[in-house]
A and B are shown apart, each in its own frame.
Chain A
Amino acid sequence: MSFLTVYITEAHPSDVWQMQSNIRDKVVFASPKSEEERASVAGICVRKLGIKYPSVLDEYGNSTEQAYTGWPDRIYLIDSQGKIAYKSKPGPFGFKPDELRAALAGMPEVEAASWRAAAGEIIAPGLYPMDADQSRKVHASDT
């Protein structure tokens, strides 16, 4: 059982669609203008949010985001045969770790201890600020 964060295009960069909640939380970044800038913001994101599991950077052409329709945020579960076993609705509305938890619980090949440990870390305190409350709830209920 493995978790992977795919860092993609910023949802609310300051030069495109600034959110007041991000200003309050001091999460203000302009759209990265190069691969290097994107890597830099992604690094800050992973560090500040304390994401423990591996994180990768979508390339600047957004090919992986487009293949998965991942923007602004989304969760997938891929089974050990490489097939899609769970696909959340698009975020922010559809980003529901509870649904992932149910999907994981239904997978015979996933050991409970393994996914419970990982699910406790998922998006805590929030990969996407609008989902933070829900993420904290999941985090708290798993501990």
Chain B
Amino acid sequence: MAGFRLRVSPFFRKLLLALVVALIAVYLAFGAFLWRTMHKPPEEFGRVMAKMPGPFVFLLFPFETMWVHARTGNLNLGDPAPDFSLMKVDKSGYVRLTDLNKRQPVVLVFGSYT
């Protein structure tokens, strides 16, 4: 069975190819921009994300995979937990991790309200 063959002019073929290459270049450039932004401090990242039109970054890019890698951090399982001494929210005193951690495991939950 003879296949259908679309006849396109060489000019149109070149134009199409250029368009595809340009689209890929824009996609990769935007992906690189997004990746760099994920490494910025939270506020800077948030300001950029606030300007993104709708959910398109989540649909066009593997956002979750990129985010998980960008925010991996430096701590690995088995590493000593960095110590800190922070004021309690009710201002009743400070909590030092190493004091709390003596003889018992500690779960740290990082988060905010919004």
Contacts and interface: CB of A to CB of B under 8 A. Distances in A.
Interface of A: 1-14, 16-19, 22, 27-29, 31, 39, 41-46, 48-49, 54-59, 62-65, 67-80, 82-87, 89-91, 93-95, 100, 104, 107, 109-110, 118, 122-123, 127-129
A12 B45 CA distance: 11
Contacts, number: 218
Contact of B106 (A2, A8, A39): A2
Given A57-B86, A87-B75, 19 more contacts: A1-B105, A8-B110, A17-B46, A27-B114, A39-B91, A46-B90, A48-B113, A65-B110, A69-B73, A73-B109, A76-B110, A77-B107, A77-B108, A80-B104, A84-B80, A94-B68, A109-B104, A122-B109, A127-B113
A55 B89 contact: yes
A22 B112 CA distance: 12
B101 A80 contact: yes
Contacts of B43: 9, 16, 31
